[in-house]
Amino acid sequence: MRGKAIVKFLVVIAAIIGCFAYFIEPLAGSLKQGLDLQGGTHIVLEAEDTEHGTADSDAVERAKQILERRINEMGLSEPIVQREGAKRIIIELPGVKDPDEAMKRIGKTAVLEFKNEKGETVMTGDDLKDAKEEMGQNKQPLVAIELSDEGAKKFADLTSKNIGRHIAITLDGDVLTNPVVQQAITGGKATISGSQSLEEAKDLAILLRSGALPVKINVLEVRTVGPSLGQDSKDKSVVAFGAGIAMIMVFLLVLYRLSGFVANVALLVYVMLLLLVLGKGFNATMTLPGIAGIILSMGVAVDANILIFERFKEEVFSGKSMRVAMEAGFKRALSTITDANVSVIITAGILTLLGSGPVKGFAISLGLGVVVSMFTAITVSHFLLRLLIDCNFTNHPFWFGANISPSKSADVFAPKSLKGGKRK
């Protein structure tokens, strides 16, 4: 029976360590890297009230969504677009080293207008259904536009009434093209020339597809984080994370011995589960504040194990057998662990709802880390400690964290029912 328990314990431990060694790198690699780790461009925009629109909450939210569509269509890697306060929008573009080029692509209001020779706006981009870049027959870059049903009717009416005259197509007041109408154009399709390259035509098509911003957007800040600085932050974060785990493991082994070994193995499970939840479950972008939240949640995970082990020791000293003391220790520690962790989770939830940027990243990592730590402490540590006691390597309390020499008589820790040489 003891032999089977030992084999079971060793197999479980080997499986956990093997899974950690195999999966830790791909799990860590599944996390997206934020601007402070990868380098890139940080942009702060602010909406402004104009005669054409008020920068209220709805307008700023629509502007954010339009900017997000533009950035996503540009194919940039792991962008972040989020609101800050009432009128500000924060954009982070990891890997983008040219802020001027980024603003040229995403910062335009992109109001598309069709004007007759009198300068009257007859149609707008609201009538646009789609826009795509293409090369013309003479290899000239063009933007092919497709109009909605209503827009097609307007365009047919516009061209039929202006044969032999110019129709200007403008973007934010700048003339893109000013062709002479040769004949009425029906079918709701047309092309816009004037682009110097296919890349420029592609950028214009993205602006037209995403739609015009409902309010004017001003640039408050444009900051570039160099790749060397980002790599340096990443390297230091990895060192801090590894050093944190190593110090915690040494502390647990020295103070709690076999119980500490169990806690260390449970900590490996905790790290794997947390990376899985962050990377696969929440598709999180890892930043320096996020890493700080993870490291802090590791401390919470260790704190839960310490509470359990201290209650376990108290039960042993009260005269209970190791197995009974272990179960009682977990039961006594559960309410304290739950109360403490729920308080942290509530705080993290408030920070997530009310905070933004770095504060939000820290709160999400901390909150998820605490939830995972509760699971590993209550289930994984419990399961492994039960297996360890069943192995009966040694059930002397010294090896489970009691500060007393193992050479002392086991009678000191014998159940009360056995003291005095007879069973009561």
The CATH number given to whatever domain includes residue 184 is 3.30.1360.200
Contacts of 110 (CB under 8 A, 6+ apart): 125, 171, 172, 207, 208, 210, 211, 212, 213
- Rounded-to-integer distance, Cα 52 and Cα 40, Å: 33
Would you say residue 181 has pLDDT above 70?
Answer: yes
- Rounded-to-integer distance, Cα 82 and Cα 46, Å: 12
Per the structure, the complete domain to which residue 146 belongs is given by: 39-224
Confidence of residue 53 (pLDDT cuts 50, 70, 90): low
Mean local confidence (pLDDT), 23-48: 85
pLDDT at site 418: 41
The structural domain count of the chain equals 2
* 348 and 384 together in one domain: yes
* 90 and 158 together in one domain: yes
Mean local confidence (pLDDT), 219-226: 84
For the chain, what is the mean pLDDT?
83
Question: Could you read off the pLDDT of 69-84 as tens digits, one per residue?
Answer: 888 877 665 678 888 8
SS (HEC) of 36-63: HHHCEEEEEEEEECECCECCCHHHHHHH
Residue 424: inside a domain: no
Mean local confidence (pLDDT), 352-361: 80
Mean local confidence (pLDDT), 248-255: 87
Question: Could you read off the pLDDT of 113-127 as tens digits, one per residue?
Answer: 888 888 888 888 888
* 49 and 147 together in one domain: yes
* 190 and 242 together in one domain: no
Instruction: Tell me the pairing of strands 32-33 and 285-286.
Output: parallel
Percent of the chain past pLDDT 70, that is, above it, reads: 89
pLDDT at site 415: 44
Q: State the DSSP H helix or E strand holding residue 418, giving kind and residue range, or none if neither.
A: none
| Entry field: residues in the chain | 424
* 28 and 48 together in one domain: no
pLDDT at site 320: 82
Mean local confidence (pLDDT), 37-64: 82
- Rounded-to-integer distance, Cα 356 and Cα 284, Å: 14
Residue 155: inside a domain: yes
Residue 422: inside a domain: no
The angle at the Cα of 43, spanning 39 to 44, to the nearest 5 degrees, equals 145
pLDDT at site 52: 60
* 194 and 280 together in one domain: no
Would you say residue 370 has pLDDT above 90?
Answer: yes
Domain end call among 224, 241, 275: 224
Tokens of 84: 């800050």
pLDDT at site 101: 76
pLDDT at site 269: 94
* 208 and 264 together in one domain: no
pLDDT at site 23: 92
* 138 and 219 together in one domain: yes
Would you say residue 416 has pLDDT above 50?
Answer: no
pLDDT at site 424: 40
Question: Could you read off the pLDDT of 308-323 as tens digits, one per residue?
Answer: 888 888 888 787 888 8
Residue 423: inside a domain: no
pLDDT at site 71: 83
* 356 and 389 together in one domain: yes
Residue 204: inside a domain: yes
pLDDT at site 407: 47
Residue 99: inside a domain: yes
pLDDT at site 396: 67
pTM for the whole structure: 0.66
Would you say residue 331 has pLDDT above 50?
Answer: yes
* 252 and 153 together in one domain: no
Percent of the chain past pLDDT 90, that is, above it, reads: 15
What's the CA dihedral at 199, 201, 202, 208 to 10 degrees? 150
Closest to 216 in 3D by CA, of 56, 51, 67, 47: 47
Domain end call among 192, 224, 256: 224
CATH number at residue 401: 1.20.1640.10
Confidence of residue 272 (pLDDT cuts 50, 70, 90): very high
Confidence of residue 383 (pLDDT cuts 50, 70, 90): very high
- Of 160-174, 334-348, 350-364, 391-405, the poorest mean pLDDT is in 391-405
Mean local confidence (pLDDT), 39-64: 83
- Of 1-10, 19-28, 48-57, the poorest mean pLDDT is in 48-57
* 140 and 23 together in one domain: no
Domain end call among 170, 199, 224: 224
Residue 255: inside a domain: yes
Closest to 191 in 3D by CA, of 177, 203, 180: 177
Would you say residue 32 has pLDDT above 70?
Answer: yes
* 304 and 398 together in one domain: yes
pLDDT at site 1: 61
